[in-house]
């Protein structure tokens, strides 16, 4: 690397001095007080290559490449997400993640290997499991912190300010209570979670704020419930009738009819599978519809620095259709088309999100806080927990 020379450079002219007609850069790229769409510039073809190069490297390095693969995957999606013309970027390195992965691996190996040791500690495995459950909020909180500090727009990073008990309540206990109440408190739990996420992120030194009413969340909850009822009556009713008929027929015919060659039985057994698939489809549609609705409420209520607004125009039905098509295509292609599916899903979410900038998008300052460690990130990844703004 060449060090900057101390030679005076007064002889070299600044080329921009002569370009009087050039607009001030931040003035020309977008219009203030108007919603601008976020753009995703990634393509399935490019991600296809990243995905398969990652798999090959994971195989030949016997798994050591996993943290680097994760970084490249995240970086591809973030850096191709353009906000007001500038891409986000993910700054963590494979080495940063490796430390966390090694510790997470040690925890998991300990968990699985302990029962093999000839030690007689009563309920040791159960205690360890309980300890892991208690560790999840900690891991998720640290993961959000680590990933936020490694996410940058221009040269300002995001920060996550959540706490263990905040994450425990908003992302674990409240949704659990929502489920235990058979969904009656679920909109309230969703609002608690969405508000907690939004209010605990900051961009540089500016904190995000959110306003939404509980009634809006109950409206989305009510719509989802009606969708569940309507979908259930229209699809599950007839399919279940066929399936129960099939089960009854089979139970009567036990042993006396050769099932394998009987077209009537085959068609009825198919009915059982059909009902199973219908339940899965209905579940995906209903949960995706609800998630899209509550996401819209969160993004639409979000504010940064009082005047920067956001908008989300996700259609629950469209998103559900994308999720279902993606599942089908990925399974049918034995995961070969998974990169295409992921890009399609991400593009839909990104390009239906908008930002209304204020007149001073250059004002943000990063307060340079430490990114922390990646242990929580690795554990929450292992546990399949992933939450982001």
Partner 1 sequence: MQINGTFTAKATSQRSRAALLIGEPGQSSDQLLLAIEGQDQVEPVSISKVSAMMAGADWRITLTGRGVFTLSAALLPDELTPFLPTPEKTSRFIGLAERLGWRGMTVILSLIIMSLAGARLALPYAADHVSRYVPQSWGKNIGNSTLNQLDSLLLEPSQLSTSERRRIDRLFSEIISKLPPDAPHIELLYRRSPTIGPNALALAGNHIILLDAMVEFAGNEDVLVGILAHEVGHITNRHAMRMITRSAILAVGLGLVFGIEDSFVEEIGTLGSSLILASYTRAFELEADQVSTQLMQQLGRDPASLISLFDKLASDCAPHCDKGGFFASHPSFRERRNQINAAAKE
Residues 331-350 that bind partner 1 (CB under 8 A): 331, 334-335, 338, 342
- Decide if 353 contacts 310 (C-beta within 8 A): yes
Among 44, 73, 183, 238, binds partner 1 (CB under 8 A): 73
Residues 171-210 that bind partner 1 (CB under 8 A): 204
Per-residue tokens: 145:
């912190």
Residues 103-132 that bind partner 1 (CB under 8 A): 112, 115-118
Among 31, 34, 56, 213, binds partner 1 (CB under 8 A): 56
Kindly report the three-state secondary structure assignment for every residue of 187-223.
HHHHHHHHHHHHHCEEECCEEEEECCCHHHHHHHHHH
Q: How far apart are CA 77 and CA 127, in angstroms?
A: 39
Residues in contact with partner 1, counted by CB under 8 A, come to a total of 80
Closest CB to partner 1 among 100 and 221?
100
Residues 284-303 that bind partner 1 (CB under 8 A): none
Least distance between partner 1 and beta carbon 157 (Å): 8
Query: Is residue 16 within the footprint of partner 1 (CB under 8 A)?
Result: yes
Closest CB to partner 1 among 48 and 249?
48
Beta bridge partners of residue 39, listed in sequence order: 82
Closest CB to partner 1 among 13 and 237?
13
Least distance between partner 1 and beta carbon 171 (Å): 18
Least distance between partner 1 and beta carbon 244 (Å): 23
Among 38, 44, 58, 102, binds partner 1 (CB under 8 A): 58
Among 55, 106, 229, 277, binds partner 1 (CB under 8 A): 55
Closest CB to partner 1 among 259 and 274?
259
Among 31, 155, 214, 307, binds partner 1 (CB under 8 A): 155
How many Cβ atoms from other residues are within 10 Å of residue 151's Cβ? 24
- Of the candidates 343, 315, 349, the residue with the CA atom closest to the CA atom of residue 329: 343
Query: Is residue 327 within the footprint of partner 1 (CB under 8 A)?
Result: yes
In this chain, which stretch among 4-12, 138-146, 158-166, 221-229 interacts with partner 1, using CB under 8 A? 4-12
Among 240, 330, 358, 371, binds partner 1 (CB under 8 A): 330
Among 38, 44, 79, 344, binds partner 1 (CB under 8 A): 79
Least distance between partner 1 and beta carbon 278 (Å): 17
Per-residue tokens: 32:
């203030």
Closest CB to partner 1 among 248 and 360?
360
Triad 333, 339, 342: Cα angle to 5°: 110
Closest CB to partner 1 among 112 and 273?
112
State how far the alpha carbon of 209 is from the alpha carbons of 200, 206, 234, in Å: 9, 9, 41
DSSP 115: G
Closest CB to partner 1 among 219 and 356?
356
- Decide if 84 contacts 355 (C-beta within 8 A): yes
Q: How far apart are CA 303 and CA 298, in angstroms?
A: 10
Residues 252-291 that bind partner 1 (CB under 8 A): 258-260
Closest CB to partner 1 among 64 and 233?
64
Q: Where are the alpha helices (DSSP H) in 4-123?
A: 25-28, 44-60, 66-79, 94-113
Among 36, 76, 190, 194, binds partner 1 (CB under 8 A): 76
Contacts of 378 (CB under 8 A, 6+ apart): 97, 100, 101, 103, 104, 105
Contacts of 327 (CB under 8 A, 6+ apart): 284, 341
- Decide if 250 contacts 275 (C-beta within 8 A): no
Residues 28-47 that bind partner 1 (CB under 8 A): 41-43, 46-47
Least distance between partner 1 and beta carbon 280 (Å): 10
Closest CB to partner 1 among 24 and 182?
24
Among 5, 21, 251, 256, binds partner 1 (CB under 8 A): 5
Per-residue tokens: 356:
């209304």
φ, ψ for residue 210 (rounded to 5)?
A: -145, 145
Per DSSP, the three-state class of 240 is helix
Q: How far apart are CA 53 and CA 188, in angstroms?
A: 43
Least distance between partner 1 and beta carbon 218 (Å): 30
Per-residue tokens: 39:
């753009």
DSSP H or E run through 49 = helix 44-60
């Amino acid at each position: 690397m060449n060090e900057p020379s101390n030679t005076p450079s007064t002889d070299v002219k600044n080329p921009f001095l002569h370009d009087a007609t050039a607009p001030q850069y931040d003035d020309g790229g977008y219009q203030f007080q108007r919603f601008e769409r976020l753009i995703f510039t990634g393509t399935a073809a490019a991600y296809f290559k990243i995905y398969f190069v990652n798999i090959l490297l994971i195989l030949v390095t016997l798994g050591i490449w996993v943290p680097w693969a994760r970084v490249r995957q995240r970086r591809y999606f973030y850096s191709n997400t353009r906000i007001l013309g500038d891409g986000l970027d993910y700054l963590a390195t494979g080495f940063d993640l490796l430390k966390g992965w090694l510790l997470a691996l040690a925890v998991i190996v300990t968990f699985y290997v302990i029962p093999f040791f000839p030690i007689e500690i009563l309920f040791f495995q159960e205690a360890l499991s309980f300890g892991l459950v208690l560790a999840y909020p900690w891991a998720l909180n640290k993961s959000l912190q680590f990933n936020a500090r490694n996410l940058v727009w221009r040269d300002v990073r995001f920060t996550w300010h959540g706490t263990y008990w905040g994450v425990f309540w908003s992302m674990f206990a409240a949704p659990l209570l929502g489920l235990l109440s058979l969904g009656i408190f679920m909109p309230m739990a969703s609002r608690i979670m969405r508000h907690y996420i939004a209010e605990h992120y900051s961009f540089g030194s500016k904190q995000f704020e959110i306003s939404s009413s509980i009634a809006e969340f109950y409206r989305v909850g009510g719509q989802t419930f009606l969708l569940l009822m309507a979908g259930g009556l229209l699809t599950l009713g007839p399919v279940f009738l066929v399936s129960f008929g099939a089960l009854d027929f089979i139970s009567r015919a036990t042993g006396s009819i050769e099932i394998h060659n009987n077209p009537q039985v085959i068609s009825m057994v198919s009915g059982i599978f059909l009902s199973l698939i219908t339940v899965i489809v209905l579940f995906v549609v209903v949960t995706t519809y609800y998630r899209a609705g509550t996401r819209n409420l969160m993004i639409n209520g979000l504010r940064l620095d009082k005047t920067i607004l956001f908008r989300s125009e996700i259609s629950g039905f469209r998103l559900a259709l994308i999720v279902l098509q993606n599942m089908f295509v990925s399974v049918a292609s034995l995961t070969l088309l998974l990169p295409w599916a992921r890009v399609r899903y991400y593009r839909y979410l990104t390009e239906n999100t908008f930002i209304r900038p204020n007149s001073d998008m250059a004002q943000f300052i990063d307060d340079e806080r430490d990114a922390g460690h990646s242990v929580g990130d690795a554990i929450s990844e292992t546990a399949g927990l992933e939450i982001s703004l």
